[in-house]
């Protein structure tokens, strides 16, 4: 019988394999979608990122939901993880801010410092 740690390691390896299999190696975008974040407007934020992926505006991006971070006063939050870079967490993201994050950060490589959680 597998230990809990062995089960977690196996599930993590499976998740990494799925990401690699889809070709999303360099950039991951997570939109907070816990109940409190949905109430703060994260579904609309997620829709902006989904449209950008669907329309080919951003490529080689793994887009997914993220659970509660326990920071309700900063919601909705978006986390961007890029290979070889420090992860960035944006706070109070609106659909307009999401479009700016796509253009300025994901396409042009500029972190929008004034929106980053410190």
Q: Is 105 exposed, middle or buried (0-12, 13-18, 19+ CB in 10 A)?
A: buried
User: 25-115 has which fold?
Assistant: Glutaredoxin (3.40.30)
Could you report the per-residue pLDDT of 1-25, keeping only the tens digit for each?
889 889 888 887 787 777 666 655 6
- Residue-range domain boundaries for the chain: 25-115
Could you report the per-residue pLDDT of 86-118, keeping only the tens digit for each?
899 999 999 999 999 999 999 999 999 999 998
Q: How big is the chain by its Cα radius of gyration, in Å?
A: 15
CB atoms near residue 101 (< 10 Å): 24
């Amino acid at each position: 019988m597998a230990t809990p740690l062995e089960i977690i390691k196996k599930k993590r390896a499976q998740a990494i394999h799925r990401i690699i299999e889809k070709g999303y190696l360099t950039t991951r975008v997570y939109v907070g979608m816990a109940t409190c974040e949905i109430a703060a407007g994260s579904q609309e934020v997620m829709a902006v990122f989904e449209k950008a992926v669907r329309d080919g505006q951003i490529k080689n991006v793994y887009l997914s939901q993220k659970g509660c971070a326990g920071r309700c006063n900063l919601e909705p939050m978006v986390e961007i993880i890029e290979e070889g870079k420090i992860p960035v967490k944006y706070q109070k993201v609106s659909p307009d801010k999401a479009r700016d994050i796509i253009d300025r950060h994901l396409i042009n490589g500029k972190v929008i410092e004034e929106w980053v959680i410190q």
